Amino acid sequence: MKYDGLRHLGAVAAQLRERGGNPRAANGGPLPSLILVTDTLRHPDPLPAMRCLPRGSAVLLRDYEHAQRASLAAALARECSALGIALWVGADLALARSVAADGLHLRERDVGLLSREQWHGVLTTSVHSLGALERASRLATDAALIAPVFATRTHPDARPIGVKRLREMVHEAEMPVYALGGINLSNASQLLDTGVAGIAAVDALHGAAR
């Protein structure tokens, strides 16, 4: 069952993807409109939210310091396969390969430590500035996650980019862009005229699935 909150976020994300021309990765596969970002400190069990995602969405395994990250990745891979959603593994090429992940996600500081030839699935990166967008472009990433768009509990001290600056960064980007950080039911519709290809979220998607 999909709850009203998740339906709303899914509808906004679907509009964003359509307005963005239904972007695809370099390998030809479609890019998702919704990305659920894991955070075991705030949401120990991601499965309820995963099971409410529309088919074709993605789950990004962040949790970089998780003590049993390999086991968590394997469990998520099985669940994602059963649900028809993609699994992206953050910042660990070997782990992404070991669970046959659909995507590899790099932190901004990881760009430059990997060549595009090392990974043939979907490749994304987090960015917080135009300079980082340019570096992501040189790496030929399939998409960038710009953060934080709004104030967020994940990085409470980070200054939000805001909708105006997000729109400017999307205009300069040479790849599809996702909005991440502080997105919720109240502000998601503010993204509709920014040019982003979709939404990546922690609290918004976990909370909407409760």
pLDDT digits (tens, 9 = 90+) for 116-158: 999 999 999 999 999 999 999 999 999 999 999 998 877 778 8
**Mean pLDDT in residue range 198-203:** 93
Percent of the chain with pLDDT over 70: 98
49 CA to centre of own chain? 14
- Reference 60, options 196, 176, 206, 208; nearest CA is 206
Q: Into how many domains does the chain fold?
A: 1
Contact call for residues 36 and 6 (beta carbons, < 8 A): no
- State which residues form the domain around 137: 4-208
d(CA 23, CA 197): 7
Q: Which of 26-35, 75-84, 150-159 has the lowest mean pLDDT?
A: 150-159
pLDDT band at 210 (very low <50, low <70, confident <90, very high): low
Of the pLDDT bands very low, low, confident and very high (cuts 50, 70, 90), residue 3 is: low
19-47 average pLDDT score: 92
pLDDT of residue 204: 87
Per-residue model confidence (pLDDT) at position 156? 76
Listed range (29-33, 41-45, 102-106, 126-130) with the worst mean pLDDT = 41-45
Give the pLDDT band (50/70/90) at residue 43: confident
Please state, rounded to an integer, the average pLDDT across all residues of the chain.
Answer: 92
- Residue 109: which CATH number? 3.20.20.70
pTM of the model: 0.94
Considering only residues 40 and 91, tell me which one the structure prediction assigns the higher pLDDT.
91
> Quick one: average pLDDT of 56-70?
95
Q: Enumerate residues 6+ apart whose C-beta is below 8 A from 41.
A: none
Report yes or no: 137 and 125 within 8 Å, Cβ to Cβ. Answer: no
58 sits in which H/E element: strand 58-61
